[in-house]
Chain A
Amino acid sequence: MTSTAVHTTELVVGGSVRHASRLITEIENGSPAAREVLARLLPHCGSAQRVGITGPPGAGKSSLTASLIKEIRAQGRTVGVIAVDPSSPFSQGALLGDRDRMLEAASGDADVFIRSLAARGAAGGLAVAVNDVVDVMDAMGKDVVIVETVGVGQGELEIAKIAHTVVLVLVPGYGDALQAMKAGVTEIADVVAVNKGDLPEAAGAVEDLRSQDYVRRDPTADRTWVVPVLKVSALRREGIRELAGLVDDHYRFTGDSAWRSEIERNRRHAQFLSSVTERLRAELAAIPPDAFDDGRFSDPHLAADEFVTDIVRARAHLRAGGLATN
């Protein structure tokens, strides 16, 4: 197993799409073998610029991503894209349609790696997988990794932890969409792109959003990033260069203080938390209803208290060298 992991690691770092692609499938399936490879890939990670593209359904996220791919490729940088679409809660199946919208930008260009992922209904599990796939593309040497997620539900909060810069894509008449999103602009957006700028209502929408004076506070220094609001049109390819420029500006801005390292630390912390949560969830799901025959489950909170206390105590015991002296 380990020698396979070493081999796979080398191939992925060498840029093998075949091996990276298979590894991503294993990551999606939560395979332990994938974790071993990921651990080996980690030293090769850290150079990719991570961009999140989120917003309501149909706002033009994929179309804009396609335009951004072209812009980034024109600068000579390589791109990886992770496009997440929801799974059907009924059949567990999914229609992954983002790739179709990006085809024009990617076709015939081996330096663009697009991967569609089905959300598979796991709230925290998705973030685990997406973060790992980001690492795979990073280790492959992609200069920029773009993650597209639909901004309803939990998705947009996770994206803020994954990306260096989150682009929130809105369209004229965005009011209802904003309400449907759980997080507000202030919480997630580093750049706001008002897409479909070719529509007449766009100018008003941009003005409205600008008048809100959204800012993000640098947690490590006494300064703020003023969230730019930009009118774009993926359809007409207007404002794309400016959008790419603003994304890079924000990336540089966070790099000018300790903010960037804070972002990296927070991402790894979030990854740790969701990974533990996911794996414990699987362990817990395996506990049968008759696990305690003394009726403790009749008070589920008490049973949970005891359970968690046991885990915390066992961990403290191990840390104190309990394992070694045992």
Chain B
Amino acid sequence: MSKEHIKVLLAKKKIDVHGRGTKLIARELRDAGMEVVYFRFGVVEEIAEAALQEDVDVVGVSIMTSGQIQIARELIPALKARGLHEVLVIMGGIIPEVDYEPLQTLGVHRCFPPGLPGGAVAEYIKRNVGTVSLA
């Protein structure tokens, strides 16, 4: 599915100081024509609330330290509780591959390893935005 203006919320933990990867992805997505709301969160509820207010098509969480499982466990229900059933949820950054499957079971649509060729994430988003639902 293609959409004229894809809006992405790109969130990164406030305490993660290494924000370069996130900023890089943000720029890549912008260069792919997307409108990217970049922000740092303290608690997961803030991501869901921002997604609601910004009416985004995609929520991306950038993981630099750990906590991805807990984040997903809270994020997916928080999105659903706000009626955001069709948002595409992706995670990226430093996530051990063994976590990919449990994360997808929790409702994350796709995990990306760091250092992907530019445009891979944008490509995935363009192909999948609007086609998913948070079961």
Q: Do A and B come from one complex?
A: yes
What residues of chain A have their CB less than 8 Å away from a CB belonging to chain B? 17-18, 21-22, 24-25, 28-29, 87-88, 90-97, 99-100, 103, 107-108, 110, 113-116, 118, 120
**Distance (Å) between the CB of B74 and the closest chain A CB?**
14
**Distance (Å) between the CB of A23 and the closest chain B CB?**
9
Residues in B neighbouring A92, C-beta threshold 8 A: 5, 33
Residues in B neighbouring A114, C-beta threshold 8 A: 50, 53
Residue of chain A at shortest CB distance from B4: A29
Of the candidates B29, B33, B55, B82, the one whose C-beta lies within 8 Å of that of A25 is B55
Residues in A neighbouring B49, C-beta threshold 8 A: 107, 110
A90→B30 CA distance, assembly (Å): 10
Residues in B neighbouring A97, C-beta threshold 8 A: 38-39
Known contacts A17-B53, A91-B32; 11 additional CB pairs below 8 A are A87-B35, A93-B29, A93-B35, A95-B38, A96-B35, A96-B38, A99-B37, A99-B54, A103-B46, A107-B46, A110-B49
A174→B27 CA distance, assembly (Å): 29
Asked if A88 and B53 make an inter-chain contact with CB atoms under 8 angstroms apart, the answer reads no
Asked if A24 and B37 make an inter-chain contact with CB atoms under 8 angstroms apart, the answer reads no
Residue of chain A at shortest CB distance from B55: A21
A25→B130 CA distance, assembly (Å): 15
Interface size counted on chain B using CB atoms at 8 A: 30
User: Is B34 interfacial (CB-CB < 8 Å)?
Assistant: yes
What residues of chain B have their CB less than 8 Å away from a CB belonging to chain A? 4-5, 7, 26-27, 29-43, 45-46, 49-50, 52-55, 82-83
A-B contact pairs, 27 of them (CB 8 A): A17-B52, A18-B82, A21-B52, A24-B55, A25-B55, A29-B5, A90-B31, A91-B31, A91-B32, A91-B33, A93-B32, A93-B33, A93-B34, A93-B35, A94-B30, A94-B36, A95-B26, A95-B36, A95-B38, A99-B39, A100-B38, A100-B40, A103-B41, A103-B42, A107-B46, A108-B43, A108-B45
Residues in B neighbouring A115, C-beta threshold 8 A: 53-54
Of the candidates A18, A88, A95, A120, the one whose C-beta lies within 8 Å of that of B52 is A18
Asked if A118 and B35 make an inter-chain contact with CB atoms under 8 angstroms apart, the answer reads yes
Of the candidates B4, B31, B54, the one whose C-beta lies within 8 Å of that of A116 is B54
Which of the listed residues A87, A93, A99, A108 has the most CB atoms from chain B within 10 Å of its own CB? A93
Asked if B36 and A113 make an inter-chain contact with CB atoms under 8 angstroms apart, the answer reads no
Give 5 closest A-B pairs by Cβ, nearest first: A93-B30, A100-B39, A21-B55, A118-B35, A96-B37
A187→B88 CA distance, assembly (Å): 45
Residue of chain B at shortest CB distance from A102: B39
Which of the listed residues A88, A110, A120 has the most CB atoms from chain B within 10 Å of its own CB? A88
A103→B53 CA distance, assembly (Å): 13
A94→B26 CA distance, assembly (Å): 9
**Distance (Å) between the CB of B32 and the closest chain A CB?**
6
